[in-house]
Amino acid sequence: MNLGDGEPDEPDDRECARRWLVAQGAWQDADGVWSDPDVLGRRPDQRVFAQAWAGIAMETPELGDAGAIRVVLGLMDLFGEPSLTGEFAVFVDAYDETRERLWEAYRPRLEAVGEPVGVVDSLRYWFLDGFHAGDAFHGVLGRDVPGLVERLRPGAPGRDPLLRRARRVLAVSGPVPWEAKRAAYEAAAAVPDLRDVLESDPAAAGPRRRPV
């Protein structure tokens, strides 16, 4: 299994993370508790377990960047631990190209038909980070603002995946600084299928009412 490819016929991130853990010698008992023989032993605290193995994934060269991102996002889903997003600091604290590598992994997951729980929770983490919120918003939606309204017109090619991504990003974008999201909000207000996201979420709708 090539964890970096993310082809449509491959398992989702959660299942990839589960398979990767098993391949490393970890196991899940009948109660759903994970253990491993060499790192943390039997039935450790599951949050500590998830954090430890997320760190190991990020330091496993064989996974590559895309594979490591996929495993960590899957661990977020598997353990319900959005705090694992912190492992991605190695990407966002480095260079523009490494940050783009991360947002490039987020974008198609935010466009998926099924709800990408781990990615959305991870996005909330970045949006609450005052230092990285604007860059994260730009990476997952802001970069698409030019032409966004045209690309979201009914019948436009690729409209539905982009609409799903825009809705998911806007729904959790309340903490993002206003100047970083102003253009996206103004474009979204011109798309009928996005107006309810802005209007139903006080945190998202509030800044749109500020004087321009």
Task: Estimate the crossing angle of helix 159-171 against helix 117-127, to 10 degrees.
Answer: 50
Using alpha carbons, list the distances in angstroms from residue 178 to 39, 112, 193: 44, 27, 21
Same domain as 145, residue 86:
no
Q: Let me know if 80 is exposed, middle or buried by CB neighbors in 10 A (0-12, 13-18, 19+).
A: middle
- Domain termination residue (choose one: 39, 66, 93): 93
Q: Which residue, of 51, 70, 93, is where some domain finishes?
A: 93
Q: Please indicate, yes or no, whether residues 111 and 211 belong to a single structural domain of this protein.
A: yes
The verdict on 32 and 118 lying in the same domain is no
Query: How does pLDDT run across 62-111, given as a tens digit for each residue?
Result: 999 889 999 999 999 899 998 898 889 888 776 677 788 889 999 999 99
Q: Is the same domain home to 26 and 77?
A: yes
Helix (H, G, I), strand (E, B) or coil at 15: helix
Residue 98 lies in a domain: no
Asked if residue 83 and residue 34 are part of one domain, the reply reads yes
Percent residues over pLDDT 70 in the chain = 88
How many domains in the chain?
A: 2
At a CB cut-off of 8 Å and minimum separation 6, what does 16 contact? 1, 3, 10, 70, 71, 74
Domain containing 111 equals 106-212
139 shares a domain with 87:
no
pLDDT at 43: 87
pLDDT band with cut points at 50, 70 and 90 for residue 133: very high
68 shares a domain with 110: no
The mean per-residue pLDDT over the stretch 148-173 comes to 96
84 is a domain residue:
yes
Which structure tokens are listed for 120?
């959305």
Max avg pLDDT among 8-12, 23-27, 127-131? 23-27
Within this chain, do residues 12 and 68 fall inside the same structural domain, yes or no? Answer: yes
The residue among 48, 66, 93 that closes a domain is 93
Reported as a pLDDT band with limits 50, 70 and 90, residue 208 is: very low
Q: Are residues 207 and 124 in the same domain?
A: yes
Average pLDDT rounded to a whole number, residues 148-169: 96
- pTM summary value: 0.81
